[in-house]
Amino acid sequence: MGFEKQPTTNNFRPFQLRLNNKTRAMERSMSKDHCFEPHLFLNEYLEQFIRAYPDSPKASLIWPSYFAHDYPDDPFHADKQYLRLFERNREEFDNSFVFFMADHGLRVGWLSRHPDGKRDVNNPMLMISVPRRMRENKYLIANLKKNSGELLTMFDTHATLVDIVETLSGRVQADFSKTAMKPELKGTSLLRPLPQITRNCKTLPIPPQYCLCEIAKEPVKFVV
pLDDT in tens, 113-133: 888 888 888 898 999 999 999
Q: Give me the helix-helix angle, 38-51 and 13-20, nearest 10°.
A: 160
Is the separation of the CB atoms in 38 and 66 below 8 Å?
yes
Distance of alpha carbon 188 from alpha carbon 162, whole angstroms? 10
Distance of alpha carbon 142 from alpha carbon 190, whole angstroms? 10
Which candidate, 50, 32, 31, places its Cα nearest to that of 41? 31
What is the band of 1 on the pLDDT scale with cuts at 50, 70, 90?
low
**Looking at this protein, which amino acid is placed at residue 100?**
F
pLDDT (tens digit per residue) in 156-210: 999 999 999 998 887 777 889 988 878 899 999 999 999 999 999 999 999 988 8
- Classify 128 as helix, strand or coil: strand
What is the band of 22 on the pLDDT scale with cuts at 50, 70, 90?
low
- Classify 100 as helix, strand or coil: strand
Task: Inform me whether the pLDDT recorded for 219 exceeds 90.
Answer: no
pTM recorded for the entire structure: 0.84
Is the separation of the CB atoms in 68 and 62 below 8 Å?
no
Q: 129 φ, ψ to 5°?
A: -115, 130
Distance of alpha carbon 114 from alpha carbon 158, whole angstroms? 30
Which candidate, 46, 68, 165, places its Cα nearest to that of 125? 68
- C-alpha 168: how far from its chain's center? 20
Helix (H) or strand (E) holding 83: helix 79-88
Distance of alpha carbon 63 from alpha carbon 24, whole angstroms? 26
Is the separation of the CB atoms in 156 and 191 below 8 Å?
no
Is the separation of the CB atoms in 111 and 95 below 8 Å?
no
More confident residue, 161 or 74: 161
Is the separation of the CB atoms in 127 and 101 below 8 Å?
yes
